[in-house]
A and B are shown apart, each in its own frame.
Chain A
Amino acid sequence: MEPDLEGELERLHPASFAWALGCCRRNREDAEEVLQTSYLKILEGRARFGGTASFKTFLFAVIRRTAGELRRRNFLRAYRLQGLRALESPSAGAANPEAEAQVAERLSALRAALARLPRRQREVLELVLSHEMSLEEAARTLGITVGSARTYYERAKKRLARMLEPRA
């Protein structure tokens, strides 16, 4: 087991969990399962970091692939799809409860809007806007061309903006 690899995984852990949540339609239980399987794959050498891209790109690609495998498995065991767990809200100190409630409301609107986007569009948008990846990195993570990633990104941004606009 390489200590560097483990340290790198630990450093990226919060971002990885956020990405895993995005890949699992915000199902916390599935996200945890995906993340622990991804860590195992990497630490046991079943998924090898080639060094051609950044470690974050590699890790996010592994998480996405693992989430896809879990999705297929869950599709076969349809009963497991029942009962999506509600996302636990973080218990950070509430300095301004009113402002926090507003943020929570906007975030839940964002989550709802994201859920209505096609998967590829949602993934590109999350990688670029949430995880601060470039379009090239996002394309590499998703295994698509930069041109496709750009198209998905533009379409997703327009659709999301339309969905989040306050209705008159």
Chain B
Amino acid sequence: MIPDTELRRLFGELRRTDGASAPSFHELRARARASDLGGRRNRSVRLVAALALVGALAVALSLLFPPRGERPGEVVTGSLSLSSWSAPMDFLLETPGRELLDSTPRIGVSPLEIPTADSSKETKGTER
């Protein structure tokens, strides 16, 4: 078994050897600064590229699918269809002989021949 002191001596030697082969502190600092500047530049370029991509995507999407509020034709069509809407069972109100209810009955005239505005003139003519 190797004694502790021998191990410590060996490790001390290892540290000295490794430490002696270390690059200069100032050189390493300068390299760190340079790589940091390069890294920052790369990061900003990547950020700008990402923003441009997102912008282009947004423009493409807005062109493909315009927002609903910006389609005037569709709004007008919608309001028109609402005003002309009628209930599906409306035809049941169209009863036979409904015109009898829309006119005033007269004495001496058959209710089945109630004259309209045009036909009353004709009737008067024939009576004469």
Among A10, A21, A36, A129, contact of B32 (Cβ-Cβ < 8 Å): A36
Whether A103 and B13, one on each chain, are in contact in the complex, defined by CB atoms closer than 8 angstroms, is yes
Q: Which residue of A lies closest to B26 (CB)?
A: A10
**A58 on the B face (CB < 8 A):** no
**A165 on the B face (CB < 8 A):** yes
Whether B28 and A21, one on each chain, are in contact in the complex, defined by CB atoms closer than 8 angstroms, is no
Whether B15 and A18, one on each chain, are in contact in the complex, defined by CB atoms closer than 8 angstroms, is yes
What chain B residues lie within 8 Å of A90 (beta carbons)?
A: 17, 20-21
**B35 on the A face (CB < 8 A):** yes
Whether B20 and A14, one on each chain, are in contact in the complex, defined by CB atoms closer than 8 angstroms, is yes
What chain B residues lie within 8 Å of A146 (beta carbons)?
A: none
**B94 on the A face (CB < 8 A):** no
**B97 on the A face (CB < 8 A):** no
Q: What's the interface size class on A, roughly?
A: 35 or more
Q: Give Cα A28 to B21, complex, Å.
A: 9
With A9-B25, A14-B19, A18-B19 known as contacts, the answer to whether A130 contacts B31 (CB < 8 A) is no
What chain B residues lie within 8 Å of A125 (beta carbons)?
A: 11
Whether A87 and B21, one on each chain, are in contact in the complex, defined by CB atoms closer than 8 angstroms, is yes
What is the number of contacts between chain A and chain B, taking CB atoms within 8 Å? 84
What chain B residues lie within 8 Å of A92 (beta carbons)?
A: 20
Whether B22 and A13, one on each chain, are in contact in the complex, defined by CB atoms closer than 8 angstroms, is yes
Among A10, A44, A110, A161, contact of B14 (Cβ-Cβ < 8 Å): A110
Q: Which residue of A lies closest to B24 (CB)?
A: A13
Q: What's the interface size class on B, roughly?
A: 20 to 34
Q: Which residue of A lies closest to B3 (CB)?
A: A161
Whether B25 and A107, one on each chain, are in contact in the complex, defined by CB atoms closer than 8 angstroms, is no
**B23 on the A face (CB < 8 A):** yes
Whether A157 and B7, one on each chain, are in contact in the complex, defined by CB atoms closer than 8 angstroms, is yes
Whether B32 and A13, one on each chain, are in contact in the complex, defined by CB atoms closer than 8 angstroms, is no
Within 8 A of A (CB), among B18-52: 18-23, 25, 28-29, 31-33, 35-36
Can you give 11 contacting A-B residue pairs, CB < 8 Å?
A14-B18, A32-B28, A88-B21, A89-B17, A106-B10, A111-B14, A126-B11, A129-B12, A130-B14, A131-B15, A160-B2
Question: Which residues of B come within 8 Å of A, CB atoms?
Answer: 1-2, 4, 7-8, 10-15, 17-23, 25, 28-29, 31-33, 35-36
Question: Which residues of A come within 8 Å of B, CB atoms?
Answer: 6, 9-10, 13-18, 21-22, 28, 32, 35-37, 39-40, 44, 87-90, 92, 103, 106-107, 110-111, 125-126, 129-131, 157, 160-161, 164-165
